[in-house]
């Protein structure tokens, strides 16, 4: 399933979705993120929760638009984001 982290405000939708079926818990996105937005945690959505998955920290999910802004200059490409680039199974999607 897609676990969504973020919020909507007057200027748009700001969500990071992590596909917990695809995420293998390698941690590469956690290491690559310069802002500490991501961490590994138990997958609450599966009964078989032996594999950790990437999640957005509570702290950053409330201000994700601002946390991710330095990675997103105008005209940026989603595939070039530091968190998306190393993710082989393409488990991370940004809504903006
Ligand atoms: S890089 Fe991809 S597969 Fe690895 S922990 Fe992050 S989201 Fe999961
Ligand atoms: S866009 Fe940048 S700050 Fe946001 S989660 Fe990805 S690597 Fe971290």
For 45-75, what is each residue's pLDDT tens digit?
666 657 799 999 999 999 999 999 999 999 9
DSSP string for the chain:
-EEEEEEEETTEEEEEEEETTT-----HHHHH-TT--EEEEE-TT-SS--SEEEEE-HHHHTSHHHHSGGG--TT--GGGSTTTTT-TT--EEE--
Q: Whose CA is nearest to atom 8 of ligand 1?
A: 23
pTM above 0.75, yes or no: yes
In order of their start, the domains of the chain are: 2-94 (3.30.70)
**CB-side neighbour CA atoms (13 Å) of 18:** 27
**Ligand 1 pocket, Cβ-based, cut-off 6 angstroms:** 18, 23-29, 54, 86-87, 89, 91-92
Proportion of the chain above pLDDT 90, given as a percent: 88
């Amino acid at each position: 399933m897609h676990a969504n982290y973020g919020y909507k405000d007057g200027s748009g939708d700001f969500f990071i979705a992590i596909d917990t079926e695809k995420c293998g818990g390698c941690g590469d996105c956690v290491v690559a993120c310069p802002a500490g937005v991501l961490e590994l945690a138990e997958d609450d959505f599966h009964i078989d929760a032996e594999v950790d998955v990437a999640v957005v920290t509570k702290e950053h999910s409330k201000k994700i638009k601002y946390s991710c802004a330095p990675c997103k200059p105008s005209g940026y490409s989603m595939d070039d984001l530091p968190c998306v680039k190393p993710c082989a199974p393409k488990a991370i999607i940004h809504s903006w």
